[in-house]
Amino acid sequence: GLAEQSRGGPLASILDDAPDAMLAVDARGFVVYANAAVERLLGHGASQIVDRPVAALLNDAADLERLVSSIVEREVEEWELTLTRSDGRAARIAASARTRRLDDGTFDGTVLCMRDVTERYHAGTELSRKNAELEHCVHALAHDLRSPLVSLLGFSRLLRQDYGALLDDTGTHFVDRIEQAGRTMEDLIHDLLELSRIGQPGERKAMVNPATVLHQLQAELKPRLDAAGIELVLPQDPPLVFCDRTRLYQVFSNLIGNAIDHMGAC
């Protein structure tokens, strides 16, 4: 079985030279083999691991549950787990499991292939923390900017309503510029909040056909296209895109709208 092959059989000769850390675990969950890369990864020599339960290397109940699920005849392609090094430090490991069966089909054990991804894990954790801080700052900034903006737009409307008759053309023009600048700032704040929400759980991702989105935009933009004498050429059979449909609509709307506005007289 797996135990005999791992202690000097052909399986051991293959695993000994493997660059990744390899563990062979029998059907009871005990380690029957550890190659040299295991000691480089975890600091535990083979003599410290073999004939001990593999659960002794784990420090999280969820990791143990996943490992057990792979040992109980169900293969897990790859997952990440946390193992304990010999110096007590935790190592984040990308592990894949391959079950082994005997000729009669009975379950014999599991071979685990492990690779150190500790640095990547910490970098991802730090990035998530910074993204959370950035999102908080964006929301706080948007809230702080909206308060004076509401006052600015409100007083400009009162100025137009109550004193519009007293303003000459220049004064009316100035009020128009104030309101236009305020609405532009309002749009910028809205776009800033929309940017911070990208990828949030509220989005509904699915396989979207860009053709339907593009034809919708073509119909909506037809008056502008006809007025400018612009022909919008759409692909006949574009590939499907896994995304939130609203986001895809926004992307194409911005791209085509900018093209119409800035393509010049060509």
Q: What is the pLDDT of residue 133?
A: 87
The answer on pLDDT for 18 being more than 90 is no
CA proximity to 89, closest of 119, 68, 66, 110: 119
Q: Which amino acid is at 143?
A: H
177-199 burial string, b = 16+ CB within 10 Å, else e? Answer: ebbeebeebbeebeeebeebeee
DSSP 201: T
**Mean pLDDT within 242-252:** 87
Q: Is the dihedral of CA 124, 129, 135, 137 positive or negative?
A: negative
User: What is the distance, to the nearest Å, from the Cα of residue 33 to the centroid of all Cα atoms in its chain?
Assistant: 36
d(CA 70, CA 107) in angstroms, rounded, equals 11
Q: Which residue has the higher pLDDT, 103 or 252?
A: 252
How far is residue 16's CA from residue 53's CA, in Å, rounded to a whole number? 21
Question: Percentages helix, strand, coil for the chain, rounded to the nearest 5?
Answer: 55, 20, 25
Q: How far is 188 from 166, CA to CA, in rounded Å?
A: 32
Q: pLDDT-derived band of residue 86, with 50, 70 and 90 as boundaries?
A: confident
Tokens of 22: 């390899």
Gap between the Cα atoms of 237 and 211, Å rounded: 7
> Stretch 74-103: mean pLDDT, rounded?
75
- Give SS3 for 5: helix
Q: What's this model's pTM, rounded to 2 decimal places?
A: 0.46
Q: In the block, which residue shows the tokens 């969820």?
A: 62
Count CB-CB contacts under 10 A for residue 249.
19
**Distance of alpha carbon 241 from alpha carbon 40, whole angstroms:** 43
CB 35 within 8 A of CB 11: no
**pLDDT (0 to 100) of residue 42:** 84
pLDDT band at residue 68 using 50, 70 and 90 as cut-offs: low
pLDDT at 72 over 60: no
Higher-confidence residue: 256 or 131?
Answer: 256
58 has pLDDT over 90 = no
pLDDT (tens digit per residue) in 215-235? 988 988 888 888 888 999 999
